[in-house]
Structure 1
Amino acid sequence: MEWRDEGIVLGTRRHGETSVILELMTRAHGRHLGMVRGGRSRRMQPLLQPGNRIDVIWRARLDEHLGLYQVEPLELHAARLFDSACAVYGLQTIAGHLRLLPERDPHANLYETLNLLIEHLDDPASAAELVVRFELLILDELGFGLDLARCAATGGSDDLVYVSPKTGRAVSRTAGAPWADRLLALPAFLRRGSGLRADLAAMEDAFRLTGFFFARNVYEPRGLEEPEARLGFLAALRKQLSSPGNGENAA
């Protein structure tokens, strides 16, 4: 068995004295593991850092085997990302979300989104919006997607400001007014075609929204806790977006 693809490094773990098990999110083969011989060498370690985009050839005798990776660099983002707490925690958060999906299950849309996201992870303003949109994509891929396009009560698309915690569907201001204290806030920047940016309050609402559905539909049924990396990412965002130097306080 053999195939060639490109992938983004999610992480590694030691294997024997000199090798590593490399975890990639690939374009055509989903999240895929393989062994890299000599992966702990001084030459290979910088290449196999999280966030780097690499070209890989995977070989194995049988498809179900772990297999061996042969790797070559395409884009080395790791050195830039490691200078930003938002980027480091953000990448760890994304990797954790991808591990909720079955290994070797192709998700081309997620790969393309991840590729774009890595370009901006060290910019807290952009990272906040991109990561929360990535979380919405993950929920959708897991079968728990939210319907934020039309009001669950009226079918209209105007003035959508709430999300029903029961159905995951948007609710308009008028329809949701009697139950406003029971509904989740829908930040304006998440509305389709809004073209708006997120301030700190909207960012908090957005991650509270996705966090609620991750907890109820994913973490609790699997006996998992919210990842520490996600909490670290949110803390880093708050610190950056509320700092005096961020005059616009916009994400």
Structure 2
Amino acid sequence: MNFECAAIVLSARRYGEGGAVVHLFTEEYGRIAGLVRGGSSRRQAALWQPGNLILARYTARLADQLGQLGGEMVQETAVRLLDRPLQLALVQSAAELADAALPDREPHPDFFLRTVRDLTAFCVLSDPAPVIDYIRWEAALLATLGYGLTLDCCAVTGDRENLRYVSPRTGRAVSESGAGQWIDRLLPLPDYLRPDGNDDGADNPALWAQGLSLTGYFLSRHLFGTRHRPVPASRERLEARIRAMCPVSAISHEDSAL
């Protein structure tokens, strides 16, 4: 099995004396692992940073064995964000989530292209930080793996207006009028996650925290809870960073809704 293609570096783990086992996300082959000779050396370490877009060369005698990896840089990500810690946290969380959630060697070409686009946005957009793009990326990850949220109409009334909440049981939207006595058990739905939503809240950490709380609930329940694994640490650090940016009153209000 030999190929050369564009790939996103998801993780790199030291292996042996100077080597590294690297996980990549590719358009045609999905998530795939390979051994890089000298991958943890000073000369190569920068290439295999999570979030980088590279031209990968993969060679293996058998399709199911751990192949050899080489590569060339196409787009640096992590290095460009050293002076922008929030954007760097977005990249680290996206790479670790994809590495932990995506199945081995199962292609998801549309999601790959979306991830390339969003990683580029994390690099070039600085003010405000593209946090809502990241939250939409998490929703797309859920959808790609079969756990998509249904946010276009109310699960109770069928209305398409005034959608304000999401059922934690079904992942379906609920309108303000349909919430009724269950309102305290529903998850808040930010406008920017609705299919017809806009980017209002692009610079509002309290609304970022709402979105992260919503997608985080379903990531924890469906993608990691069923495997008895915690949500990746970088994702938890990202949410903690966002919550630290929120006014105390906004956090208290959100927690009371949950």
Normalised-by-shorter TM-score class: 0.7 to 0.9
- What's 1:248 paired with? none
**Does 2:34 correspond to 1:34?**
yes
- Distance in 1 (alpha carbons) for counterparts of 2:156 and 2:83: 46
Instruction: Please list every run of 5 or more consecutive structure 2 residues that lacks an aligned counterpart in the other structure.
Output: 248-258
Question: Amino acid of the residue matched to residue 120 of structure 1?
Answer: A
Contact 2:10 2:24 in 1 (8 A): yes
- CA deviations on 1:191-219 (whole Å, 9 max, x unpaired) are 11222322222212111111222222233
Contact 1:146 1:169 in 2 (8 A): yes
Deviation at 1:236, TM superposition (A): 2.7
Contact 2:10 2:96 in 1 (8 A): no
- CA deviations on 1:77-106 (whole Å, 9 max, x unpaired) are 221123332233322322232122211111
> Using a 3 Å threshold, how does the CA distance of structure 1 residues 237 and 121 change in structure 2: closer, same or farther?
farther
Instruction: Please list every run of 5 or more consecutive structure 1 residues that lacks an aligned counterpart in the other structure.
Output: 243-251
Comparing 207-216 and 34-43, the one that deviates more = 34-43
**Does 2:154 correspond to 1:117?**
no
TM-score normalized with structure 2 length: 0.85
Question: Amino acid of the residue matched to residue 18 of structure 2?
Answer: T
Identity of aligned residues (%): 36
Aligned Cα root-mean-square deviation (Å): 2.0
Matched ranges for 1:37-186 at <5 A: 37-98=37-98, 99-121=100-122, 123=126, 125-186=128-189
- What's 1:24 paired with? 24
> Using a 3 Å threshold, how does the CA distance of structure 1 residues 124 and 15 change in structure 2: closer, same or farther?
farther
**How many matched pairs?**
242
Contact 1:124 1:237 in 2 (8 A): no
Contact 2:189 2:211 in 1 (8 A): yes
- Distance in 1 (alpha carbons) for counterparts of 2:127 and 2:142: 22
- Distance in 1 (alpha carbons) for counterparts of 2:178 and 2:24: 45
Deviation at 1:124, TM superposition (A): 7.1
Deviation at 1:58, TM superposition (A): 0.9
TM-score normalized with structure 1 length: 0.88
